[in-house]
Chain A
Amino acid sequence: MIPEIGHFALTLALLLACVQVVLPLWGAARDRTAWMALGRPAAAGQALFVLVAFACLMWSFYANDFSVRYVVQHSNTALPWAYRLAAVWGGHEGSILLWLLILSGWTLAVALFSRHLEFGMLARILGIMGLISIGFLLFILFTSNPFDRLFPAALNGDDLNPQLQDPGLILHPPLLYMGYVGMAVPFGFAMAALLAGKLDAAWARWTRPWATVSWCFLTLGIALGSAWAYYELGWGGWWFWDPVENASLMPWLVGAALLHSLAVTEKRGTFKMWTVLLAIIAFSLSLLGTFLVRSGVLTSVHAFATDPKRGVFILLFLGIVVGGSLLLFALRAAQVGLGGRFATVSRESMLLGNNVLLMVAASAVLLGTLYPLLIDALGMGKLSVGPPYFNAVFVPLMAPALFLMGIGPIARWQRADAGGLARRLRWALAVSLAAALATPWLAGGWSAWTSFGYFLAFWIFASVAVNLGGRLAARPWREWWRVLRVQPGSYYGMLVAHVGMGVLVVGVTTVGSYEIERDVIMRPSETASAAGYVFRLDTISQRPGSNYIADRAVISVFRNEQRIAILTPERRIYTAAQSANPMTEASIDTGLTRDLYVALGDALEGGAWIVRIYVKPFVSWIWGGGILMALGGGLAVLDRRYRRRVAQADGCVAPVAAPPPPSYPDTGAAVPKRVETTA
């Protein structure tokens, strides 16, 4: 009964989504307030029914309803309940339902938090987002129904893939999808602007927080995915340039470009057309990622079970949504207008440079990911494009962007003084160079690449210090606390996010240059040493888990004769799984300056075991950098200019449309003075 309720709820959601699309969009075109007003309730209703459907599926998993085919494929009575619930998105059908749930959630959020938006604009945004919902609802109902029944019902399920039985499954897909799907909001804003034929200051001001929050979630989702792969796969790698990883990196890069471009559009009214295009591209890449993972055109460790019918559907959907939006862009872009002027050396030109580099980097990742497919389709052979290519191409493209990160925030808008910039930054440059040369020396192994990495990281840190220091130095020290308190959230957000990037670069450079690996054969009481740490195998024994049997090693780690950690790597055989391949569970001692990582390999004769030992310096700085970047985004969104606006608009109830804020005139003459200046 419950699955049928879920199925029915989806049908109702589809009907409401149709209402959400047709009437508000039509109403916005004809300026009919009553129709536009239907957008909000329709969005709320759709979200409600999608939630009901999702809850039904979750219940089916929780209650072990093995008459539902999807539950049989991904669950088992022995599976712990937390994983039974997370298994809802462990396969294709459920994860698409999660996509839909999150989309309806974002739509509802836009509907609720947009009292200050012009009414027609809100109607258009909700209409566009509803269109995407319709696509996904049709996809689910016609090709990927999670509620399909299995008759006769199975006695037990096939169990969730052992590699997914991990806390990472509970967090990573939802966080990642929040980011992927969140890009639909700026997409909706962009389409609304094109449909209305105008793009004003309010548009930029209100698109920005939505884009930022999506980007934050995407950052966290990617960081978590990387960390999960690191500890789950057993040999300590954290990025493989796998097609699905690339599918998440591309919207992240374009999203970052979008954030910076929105800053210019909000502040100066420039780059409007380009910003709209970026918003379209960011979401298009999200959809493309969905296609790549589920269509079978690329081999990937993340790929879901594929079905050609699904691939065709998503491609059609992709073609309509992205093709339609790019068509609208081509037709309407000229109407949106240009913007202000700026000099060759100015913050605008720096941000433009940032955009160019990020977009070329994203294009390179796209090219590399799709190239095997392109060559195969053209009959020109069968190739692989892997990490050696991406590392060789991506790093040189991103390095200049990291360098610009130091200069851009200090440059003035519209016209910056190149000489002044150079003077302010010269000691930062000197410090960075010195640190870049010295650090590898101290760490015990100099190489050009290592130095280069450290240079970029220290450059970012030093220029952040120059930026902050400049604001403080303008005032006597007594006032410093006041100066710090007065800076807007977006300023600190920018600093923290940039520092986060620097932290990431430190992590990547250090672990890439100085990690140590030792593969040894150990018997109990034998030791192996690496980087000043001594690893001793104490015991190895068997222990049962809830749905597996594990061989468990206890390894003590000593430094300077002191025991500093006990690691317990395991080798598990999951009893219900189709393939009885053993799964390795690495054991990691995480630290600020190093990770001690041990994985258990095969057993050999005579009670000996293969043990893989890694010492990975500063690897946690990689995820730390990611978290800092997301934190920076969060700080930017909490900027008081958003909160003040909301407070002002409280009590302001549509349907009377608020007068639109002044547009930037197309002639680019004097632009209106703004009440608050933002960073």
Chain B
Amino acid sequence: MRRAWGIAAGLVLACGLNLSLAAGREARPLAEDPALEARVMEIAEDLRCLVCQNETLAASHAGLAVDLRAQIRERLAAGEDRAQIIDFMVARYGDFILYRPPFQPNTWVLWVGPFVLLALALAIMARVIRQRREQGTGDEASFDEEAPS
């Protein structure tokens, strides 16, 4: 009888262990402070790695990228804000390190250009439509669309 209970207890224990098959020990996050790390990455995503120049500072494995991310982390922890950290980087590496070009005289055309172009294109389009409309309608019957209404 005791053996049956023992076996039963053993089975229950085993089932319990099976149920917690997925629940091993929880892994430690890589960053000591994930919230801070998220802010570091947010800033680093907008910066360019100068060694692997086609990667963001967030993604790059280069030594300099690791160092600069460490700088960002320290400064954020010390209470600096994003603008100050960006200034820090630009003072040392120039505008080149910014993936988001700052709005300044040599980037006015870049930022404003597409929308100016859009406005111009829409104006031309309006003129073309007006031209075409004023020259009278064509023969509608031969171009009847299958679509009702």
Contact = CB atoms under 8 A, between A and B. Distances in A.
A386 B58 CA distance: 14
Interface residues of B, number: 59
A544 B52 CA distance: 29
A520 B27 contact: yes
Contacts of B133: 341-344
Contact of B27 (A415, A470, A522): A522
Nearest to B137: A341
A4 to B, nearest CB: 38
A677 B144 contact: yes
Contacts of A670: 138-139, 142
A413 B138 CA distance: 11
State the main secondary structure of chain A at its contact with B. mixed
Given A389-B100, A526-B24, A520 B140 contact: no
Interface of A: 235, 237, 240, 242, 267-268, 270, 299-301, 340-344, 347-349, 352-353, 356-357, 359-360, 363-364, 367-368, 371, 375, 380-389, 392-393, 397, 410, 412-415, 417, 420, 424, 467, 470-471, 473-474, 487, 518-523, 525-529, 534, 536-537, 556, 558, 561, 563, 601, 610-611, 668-674, 677, 679
Interface stretch (B4-12, B69-77, B112-120): B112-120
A278 B29 CA distance: 52
B46 to A, nearest CB: 5
Interface in B123-149: 125, 128-130, 132-133, 135-140, 142-149
B84 interface: no
From A268, A341, A534, residue with most partner B Cβ within 10 Å: A341
A381 to B, nearest CB: 6
B50 to A, nearest CB: 10
A471 B146 contact: yes
Interface of B: 19, 21-31, 37, 46, 48, 53-56, 59, 94-101, 106-107, 109-111, 113-114, 117-118, 121-122, 125, 128-130, 132-133, 135-140, 142-149
**Can you list the 5 inter-chain pairs with the closest CB atoms, starting with the nearest?**
A386-B99, A388-B100, A364-B114, A558-B22, A519-B30
Contact of B22 (A385, A387, A527): A527
Nearest to A604: B30
Given A349-B129, A371-B110, A519-B31, A341 B135 contact: yes
Given A360-B114, A382-B95, A534-B22, A668 B143 contact: no
The CB with the most chain B CB atoms within 10 A, among A383, A397, A415, A558, is that of A383
Given A383-B96, A386-B56, 14 more contacts: A342-B129, A356-B121, A360-B114, A384-B96, A384-B98, A385-B110, A389-B110, A413-B143, A415-B140, A526-B25, A669-B138, A670-B142, A671-B143, A679-B146
B7 to A, nearest CB: 24
Nearest to B105: A380
B27 A521 contact: yes
Contacts of A519: 29-31, 37
Nearest to A387: B99
B140 to A, nearest CB: 6
Contacts of A383: 95-96, 98, 101, 106-107
